[in-house]
Amino acid sequence: MTTVTEERIRFSDVVRLKAKQRLFVDSVWQGIRTGDPEYILFGGAAGPGKSYGIRWGAVITAIRIYHEYGLSGVRQGIFCESYPTLRDRQIDKVRAEFPAWLGHMNEANHDFTLAEEFGGGVLSFRNLDEVGKYDSAEFAVLWVDELTKNDKATFHRLRTRKRWVGVPHSPFAGATNPKDRGLPWVRKLWIEKDFSGDEDMGLSHAPFLFIPALPSDNDSLPASYWDTLNSLPPSLRAALLEGNWYIFQGQAFPEFQRPLHVIPTAEVHPLWRRIAGHDWGYNSPGHHLWGAIDPEGGVIIYREYAFRNLDPQEIAQSILFHQGQERITTTWADPSIWAERRKADLTQEQLDRLLEDGRLVLSKADQYAKAGLHCQPANNQRIAGKQRIHTLLKPRLDGVPWLRIMENCPILIRTMQNIQLDPDRPEDVLTDYLPEDDMRDDAYDALRYLLMGVPAQATPEVGTESIAAKWGF
């Protein structure tokens, strides 16, 4: 059998891991031996050699497992979101980089099997277009390239496959740039270590490790690549060159800044006009926002309420409980909640008769009203609503933005930070979120309804001398 020393000499001729790549690979090995860390994320910017670290990390890990535990034929999974990206990022590179003596690739099923002298470990290159097809598979280590290309449901489903008999622990190792649709949930778990919510609560005791890496960690990058990164638009440059997780390409409201637009929770002056915005939901979450108009016409969102799986009467009762004795002049709601009654092509007399007989299915709006919550149909022009938000995020003459959000509205704040533009409709935001997604548009829609109901004269483009400080804001 070839000794470990001999293997290292041979491998040094073909693979040279940079310091951060080595830390990534060693952290995976530590995770196998001790279970800490269990979930490892490497990268956060372009250029540190993430894909390289994954494929060669899998090779080194296979050999280590063979020598440490005497296990041969151990399978690891290397995943990308689709087959074309899997081919470009990994399979074609394997063909170019892996020497013949290391093992052989089965072109039919995309498995690379190491030579027997290295333990015969198997590197299975797979795509994640339908993660359910791996429900019966087992992998000693899961390696995912460009993790933010995937949603959290894929992550949860895939991590159930990390096990192998004889391997003490099976870590999950991801690499990514801070961009794309999966950025919010990846940032939440690895960067912010935020395990709030039913979906993530079970991960609160699992060791997560983030290994940040920048292009400067790879001294093999050509000067032309640096020129390319430096020439990118600001948001993309912030992500790929600086590793900024809070400014990213496709961000719908890049002007939204927490230090500027988020204010401490405080009592709203009793004389200020108050309005509300409402987005209904049952299987998907719904959202309700309360806002106040300050003396200069600025809008302060001072409370939020998220709900799910409640019937209209329960929703109305909960909202009325939260607002207590406050006088809300208008609650602007999603026009669709009037749909059921509008569909009936009946006269008012016929509707009243059916209602008396108990044969009329009330709309959600009617059920709200019956419970004491009276709403008005909101202006649902999506593009105009989005532009309204952009306008109100701008500062007044005194530097205070027209729109501010109290810090006791974390869902709305997170939504404003994370919501992305729809690549097919760049003037609008993404709307096709799953009910369990961390990032959804319910709070955004409630805000849009509320702000479209604010009179234009209440938020003039030219402000007067600020008196907001008088009221403690």
65 pLDDT exceeds 80?
yes
Q: Which CATH number does the domain housing residue 142 bear?
A: 3.40.50.300
Task: Note whether residue 66 is domain-resident.
Answer: yes
| Side chain identity at residue 92, one-letter code | D
Q: What span, in angstroms and rounded, lies between the C-alpha atoms of 116 and 175?
A: 29
Q: For 396-419, how does the pLDDT look when each residue is reduced to its tens digit (9 = 90+)?
A: 888 899 999 999 999 999 999 989
Let me know: does 40 contact 172? Beta carbons within 8 Å. Answer: yes
User: How much is the pLDDT for 146?
Assistant: 95
Task: Note whether residue 58 is domain-resident.
Answer: yes
Based on the fold, state whether residues 223 and 309 are members of the same structural domain.
no
User: How much is the pLDDT for 290?
Assistant: 98
Sheet (strand 403-406) strand order: 262-263, 403-406, 299-307, 286-293, 273-279, 330-333, 376-377
Based on the fold, state whether residues 338 and 392 are members of the same structural domain.
yes
Q: For 28, phi and psi rounded to 5 degrees?
A: -65, -45
165 pLDDT exceeds 60?
yes
* Triad 433, 438, 441: Cα angle to 5°: 45
151 pLDDT exceeds 70?
yes
462 pLDDT exceeds 50?
no
Based on the fold, state whether residues 458 and 312 are members of the same structural domain.
yes
Task: Note whether residue 244 is domain-resident.
Answer: no
Task: Note whether residue 247 is domain-resident.
Answer: no
379 pLDDT exceeds 60?
yes
Confidence class of residue 346 from pLDDT cuts 50, 70 and 90?
A: low
465 pLDDT exceeds 50?
no
Based on the fold, state whether residues 195 and 283 are members of the same structural domain.
no
User: How much is the pLDDT for 6?
Assistant: 46
Span 435-440, mean pLDDT?
73
Task: Note whether residue 246 is domain-resident.
Answer: no
User: How much is the pLDDT for 289?
Assistant: 98
What total of structural domains would you count in the chain? 2
User: How much is the pLDDT for 199?
Assistant: 83
- Which residue from 318, 450, 312, 305 is spatially nearest to 368, judged by alpha carbons? 312
Based on the fold, state whether residues 270 and 230 are members of the same structural domain.
no
User: How much is the pLDDT for 1?
Assistant: 44
pTM, full prediction: 0.73
Based on the fold, state whether residues 195 and 335 are members of the same structural domain.
no
Based on the fold, state whether residues 187 and 277 are members of the same structural domain.
no
Span 24-50, mean pLDDT?
94
Of residues 137 and 231, more confidence is placed in: 137
Task: Note whether residue 290 is domain-resident.
Answer: yes
Domain range for 176 is 4-235
Based on the fold, state whether residues 128 and 223 are members of the same structural domain.
yes
Residues ≥6 apart with Cβ < 8 Å to 352: none
User: How much is the pLDDT for 12?
Assistant: 67
User: How much is the pLDDT for 144?
Assistant: 98
**Buried residues in 308-345 as b, exposed as e (16+ CB within 10 A):** eeeebeebbbbbeeebeeeebebbbbbbebbebbeeee
- Which residue from 8, 47, 53 is spatially nearest to 27, judged by alpha carbons? 53
Of residues 278 and 435, more confidence is placed in: 278
Span 28-45, mean pLDDT?
95
Confidence class of residue 361 from pLDDT cuts 50, 70 and 90?
A: low
Based on the fold, state whether residues 322 and 406 are members of the same structural domain.
yes
Task: Note whether residue 250 is domain-resident.
Answer: no
Based on the fold, state whether residues 300 and 353 are members of the same structural domain.
yes
- Which residue from 120, 43, 28 is spatially nearest to 89, judged by alpha carbons? 43
| Percentage of the residues of the chain whose pLDDT score is greater than 90 | 66
Last residue of a domain, one of 203, 235, 267: 235
Q: What span, in angstroms and rounded, lies between the C-alpha atoms of 473 and 470?
A: 7
Span 171-188, mean pLDDT?
91
Task: Note whether residue 435 is domain-resident.
Answer: yes
Based on the fold, state whether residues 36 and 141 are members of the same structural domain.
yes
Last residue of a domain, one of 235, 270, 297: 235
At 420, list the tokens: 């992305």
Based on the fold, state whether residues 209 and 78 are members of the same structural domain.
yes
Confidence class of residue 461 from pLDDT cuts 50, 70 and 90?
A: very low
Last residue of a domain, one of 200, 235, 270: 235
Arithmetic mean of pLDDT over the chain: 88
User: How much is the pLDDT for 14?
Assistant: 77
Of residues 389 and 1, more confidence is placed in: 389
Q: Which CATH number does the domain housing residue 421 bear?
A: 3.30.420.280
Q: For 235-269, how does the pLDDT look when each residue is reduced to its tens digit (9 = 90+)?
A: 777 777 877 888 777 889 989 988 999 999 999 99
